[in-house]
Amino acid sequence: MSDRPTIAAAVDVLHSAFGPPASSVFDATWHRMVAELTLGAQQTQHVERLRWAFADTVLASPALTASAAVGQLAEALSPLPRAANKAPVVLALAKWWVNTFGDELSPTWHRDVQQDRLELRQIRGLGPETADRLLLFGANRPVFPVDRGALRVAVRHGWLDLPVDDEDAQALFRSATGGEVQMMQLLARWLHRIGETQCGRVPNCAGCPLEPLLPPGGPIDADRC
C-alpha cells in the first residue's frame, strides 16, 4: 500500500495556506446561479453591482430574464467585468430554469443530480465544468467542477490518470471532502486558485503549498495536461 500523500492531505494543506475563501452572499438560488455564471470566484469583489442587477434589472427573476431580449440582458450585465458577452447563455439558462422550476427564485431541489448535469450541459455555452460549477455553487448540489487547475493538480500529483474519467474524478474529489457540499466548494475554489497561480500549462511548483505533496520525481505528465 502506497504511503504517498493523498488528496485528503492536500485539503488540510490548502486550508492552512489559504483559509476559507469568501462565499456567495446571495440567498436566492437563481441569483447565486447568475453570479457564478457571470463572475465565478470574482463575484465577491462586485457584490454591490450584483445586488443592483438583481434588484433593478431583468435579472431579478428567472421569468423576467427569460422574456428579455439579449440586448436587454447585455445592458443589465454591462456593469460587471466581461459579463455582457454572456447574455446569450444567461438567457438560455433562464429559459431552462423557467421550463423546469417556473419563476421560483429558490425552488426545492429534489431532482437527480445526474439529470441536472446532463440538462445543463445541453445548454449552448455551458460546458461540463461550468454546468457542474453552477450546480455546486448555485444550487448547493454535491458535484465537483473539474476545471483545468483541478485536473492538473490531480494528475501531476498522481491522484488521477490520463485520460481522466469523469466518474473517477468525481469519486476522487468526493472522497477528499466526504461529499460535503461546503467542503467541495472550498476545495474547488482553492484548486482554481492554484491553477491560476502555480499549476498552469507549465507548472511553477516553487512556493506552491502543494509542492511537498508531489511524488519524488516531481510532477507527473506535466507536459500532457
Average pLDDT over residues 90-115: 96
For 225, other C-beta atoms within 10 Å of its C-beta total 20
- Domain locations in the chain as residue ranges: 7-21+144-213, 29-138
Q: Is the dihedral of CA 179, 121, 196, 200 positive or negative?
A: positive
| Angle formed at CA 53 by CA 49 and CA 57, multiple of 5 degrees | 150
- Examine the pLDDT at 88 and tell me if it is beyond 80: yes
Mean pLDDT, rounded, of the chain: 94
Q: What is the structure's pLDDT at 3?
A: 59
User: Average pLDDT for residues 105-133, to the nearest whole number?
Assistant: 95
3-state secondary structure of 131: helix
pLDDT value for 4: 67
At the top level of CATH, the class of 29-138 is: mainly alpha
- The H or E element that residue 118 is part of is helix 113-121
Longest CA pairwise span in the chain (Å): 59
Can you tell me the mean pLDDT for 2-29? 87
* pLDDT at residue 197, as a whole number: 96
| pLDDT for residue 109 is more than 90 | no
Residue 204 pLDDT grade (very low, low, confident, very high; cuts 50, 70, 90): very high
Residue 114 has a pLDDT of 95
**CA separation for the pair 137, 163 (Å, rounded):** 26
DSSP string, 34-96: HHHHHHGGGGGGSHHHHHHHHHHSGGGSHHHHHHS-HHHHHHHHTTSTTTGGGHHHHHHHHHH
Which pLDDT band holds residue 198 (cuts at 50, 70, 90)? Answer: very high
Contact in structure between 185 and 11 (CB atoms under 8 Å): no
Residue 22: what pLDDT?
Answer: 77
Q: Which residue has the cell 490520463?
A: 162
pLDDT value at position 1?
A: 37
163 has a pLDDT exceeding 70: yes
Residue 21: band (very low, low, confident or very high) from pLDDT cuts 50, 70, 90:
confident
Mean pLDDT computed over 30-40: 97
Q: How confident is the model at residue 110 (pLDDT cuts 50, 70, 90)?
A: confident
* Cβ atoms of residues 44 and 22 within 8 Å: yes
Asked if pLDDT for residue 2 goes beyond 60, the answer is no
> pLDDT for 42-63, tens place per residue?
999 999 999 999 999 999 999 9
CA separation, residue 13 to residues 4, 54, 159, 223 (Å): 15, 37, 16, 25
Average pLDDT over residues 187-195: 96
Q: Which cell is 175 given?
A: 472522497
The model scores a pTM over 0.85: yes
The Cα–Cα gap between 207 and 67 comes to 49
